[in-house]
Structure 1
């Protein structure tokens, strides 16, 4: 029992008996003692000295926490001289293997390295330039535009300047030989190298395929010409190009928006056609329970896509009331006439306002037939709202195109075309794509949906 108490109180085992005096006495192990020989240096703050020398395990080997010029904190540095002798250095001459003139150069070097090769000679890399005989040149390498003297001069410069063709072009003797461009020099050099490679590979290795260097001089000439034209553009030309690029981006953006609106409008028309076909089929078959289930699931083919123009729900709005009445397990029929959560508050209030204008109760008696008719009516109202928003969007776009055409001055148009006729034809061309073919059908659908909602 006493040993357990000693463990709990963190008292050493086997010592004296547990008394009040022994428990209240300070622990000799936990007492902190500082080395009396370590005194706080003059000018050092007491807190810094406590951080450095409070730990007894560090002792006098603790280093300063601030960067100093000495390696031992605040003590005076002492020179640490080794016992070994200083290595001797000697002023000696050397030759660079890259030079062929045997020039003697001098530098300081360790005495032990005397007679060794120049250490930087390993960086002396040179390109191997092929050579040819007079027989090979006359038989395989001769050209009408190049003489043998000009070719020899070109290859000598390539060996001297390691294929730095800018320097080679500068040192080429244009007065003695015909004046050449850098592309001409490179084309002739690589052409000679490829022909030599083919000849020697066929002679030594038979039918082996040689490694050839592909160089298109014509492409390089066109590229440099284009860069020169680009560099020589005036400030006005640069600004005009930036304006044209910005207009091109706007045109592409408007084109994408028109395509998206056409797709959304087509989805609305498809959903309306499917809704009409489904209603006709259900009228013929009667109001049986199995037919009602089919009526609730079939129109989901037209779902998908966003609403056009005014931000409607597109094809989903045409079937949202029928797809919402799906439920698993037991449910009340009154839950099928609730407003679906996918319809925003703004549209929900518009639908409620339309129902009030038609003198239709917002909470009708939820019989089977009333529920189906009520959802069908709200679907038609929602489809009518989407079509109206799409029509407003198209009308706004047509008006904006008209204003753009009217801003064009009559002087820029051809003289044989009247301004009114040209504006009208241009406007028709701008709005006719994807719009004229379905205009009558959309108008008929809008009128039919509105009449059905009024009934």
Structure 2
């Protein structure tokens, strides 16, 4: 089947003249692109590359909005946020509704100010009296007071800003400014309304304010050591408070325990067994009457003795170092020539062995010196021992370190122990038991060797005879 038959079956018209539909088209000279991953016959069935969606050209825009309501007018009107400033903004409404006069700011109701009194010079002289010339240790005039109150009214009693903007007499501190302000306000309200409950709160103490700032300055200038010391003192004070509370609670519980049962009641009801049971149950029913006994931890004598050992060893080490240094300094000059001539070169291993031996000897001397103050009974009771050789590291059982012998000798030793009625291993392997057991094993081994030698000599004598 040719490609033309396939086009006829699929009802696909081929490009070219209608008369030449059945004729074979002339091969194109343009090279075709190589297609991979698809069979050639299947690729030929694809035909022209037509878009999946039809694209239509159109110049039609969005339809015009058909609204029946008219747009509301907006007016660029004036408004006055403050008495000295006029601005403009857009307001919804026509000019007739808005009006020609500038409107007030809608947020003006939130602009609140403090009620700071205002007064004239005559009023100031009337309520201040003869004290207006000198208040405290400073002299104030009416012009300074008026300027100060204007600044307080302008900056809403922000004292640091007021002190920065103050242009009165030089040398005025913040405490001086606050003192004169509160004093004048106190005198003013005392004249206007003496029954006002806020009048006593207008008293300002300059000395207390200065002392407060000095204390705060000292508090902020503390060092780390001072802060740590204060924290330690606070912790100790809390401990004292807790101890006092615990003591008072224990005393109260003891008093309650002593008050029960009451002494005014007859004791005849407690003489029987049933009465004693009721008394016992009544004393134990109230849990608050129980007293917690303090658990006193006994002193550990072994730890105390170890501390004494450490102190004595340190003292002996210091004495030994002093003796060695003095002897080396005295013999250094006399033996320098002889040592330089007769010195023998030692290897590194020999030097290490010598250092280890010297260290062991020094340790043994320390141990012997420390154990001089112990009797045999004290050593036995406290388990203090003196080891001449280096001990292996780690913990072990004494029963695992019992001496062993050859197989034949071990069997004979076990038989001998069985004849003596002793076990092969001690049931209670204490230090003394293990020591005597080792001595017994060594003696049995020696006796077995002697018996072997005796038997050998007797056999040789029998052969000679």
Greater RCO, CA 8 A, separation 6+ = 1
Q: TM-score band, normalised by the shorter chain?
A: 0.3 to 0.5
Give the TM-score normalised by structure 1: 0.39
TM-score (norm 2): 0.39
